[in-house]
Amino acid sequence: MAETGATEVPPTPPPHSPVTRAERFVWLTARVLEQRRFAHHFRGAAADPVETALDAYRNEDGGYGHALEPDLRGPVSQPLHTAHALRVLDAVGRCAGQRVERMCRYLTSVSTADGALPAIHPSQRDYPTAPFVPVVDDPPSDLLATGPVVGLLHRNEVWHAWLFRATDFCWRAVESLEKSHPYEIEAAVTFLDSAPDRPRAEAAADRLGRLVRDHRLAALDPDDLDAYPVSPGYAPGEHHFPHDYARTPSSLARAWFTDDEMARSLDHLAAQQQEDGGWPVRWRHWAPAPALEARPLVTIEALRVLSAYGRAVD
């Protein structure tokens, strides 16, 4: 057959994977800590560099500061920073030893009269703070701050005198919830997923699941978000989805949602990856640096959730 002169069209190259796209975003925007966390979770890098990067945020009192949690600026240790550090250590399998012992001593030093944690210690007053995070002179105990810390310490079989009263506080707070908001429920789930009394935890989680559904605290249909109210004080459109509560299939919160509801939630999460490779921050933006620093955190968490549910990310 005679040559027609037509140029053969090369095959379309496969699109970059979610991890590859996110990797470029992380290298362009992230702090050293998140760069090393990404390399550990998705590129097989060691955990030691993650610990080394985390040490830059640690203070002499055993707590963590220096805007580790981006919405709290300044050097002072805060319970929310220390909870963030525990999540990092737990994720890389290093939540033990003298480092955690020092953290528990710090937690003891800032605890309220009933042995739990305030969300914000008054020492934050001298430094910039997100306007939706109140700083008061005598802050109350807070499940949002205490629940994740207690849960992660139990998960890693850390035993310290501080845990006894703090655990009792979490049980009282979780079992008395009648009205709540998504972040508080998520904190309760982190506690319940690792609380030592498993039958009690399962019963409490079952009750919370009914509360979440009755109060429409989870957007079950991402295509009809107007049907789900945004909690007071949250940013417009700051909905929470099944995957925000059940971050792994083993979470007690997974039983709150049908397979179809969870599949739609994960589809929505995957579709939220933006053109630059990162995921968006859903909460209120109040300054450029916190928003920039938070996006890599959100991006890593999105990929970890998708991976936990067996969604292909690479």
pLDDT of amino acid 312? 83
Cα 254 from Cα 267, distance rounded (Å): 16
Question: What would the pLDDT profile of 22-61 be if each residue is shown by its tens digit?
Answer: 999 999 999 999 999 999 999 999 999 999 999 999 999 9
**Contact between 169 and 144 (Cβ < 8 Å):** no
Alpha-helical (H) ranges within 124-226 are 143-155, 162-175, 182-194, 198-214
Question: What would the pLDDT profile of 142-191 be if each residue is shown by its tens digit?
Answer: 999 999 999 999 999 999 999 999 999 999 999 999 999 999 999 999 99
Three-state SS string over 63-131 comes to CECCCCCCCECCCCCCHHHHHHHHHHHHHCCCCCHHHHHHHHHHHHHHCCCCCCCCCCCHHHHHCCECC
In the DSSP assignment, the letter for residue 236 is T
Question: What would the pLDDT profile of 57-103 be if each residue is shown by its tens digit?
Answer: 999 999 999 999 999 999 999 999 999 999 999 999 999 999 999 99
Cα 172 from Cα 160, distance rounded (Å): 20
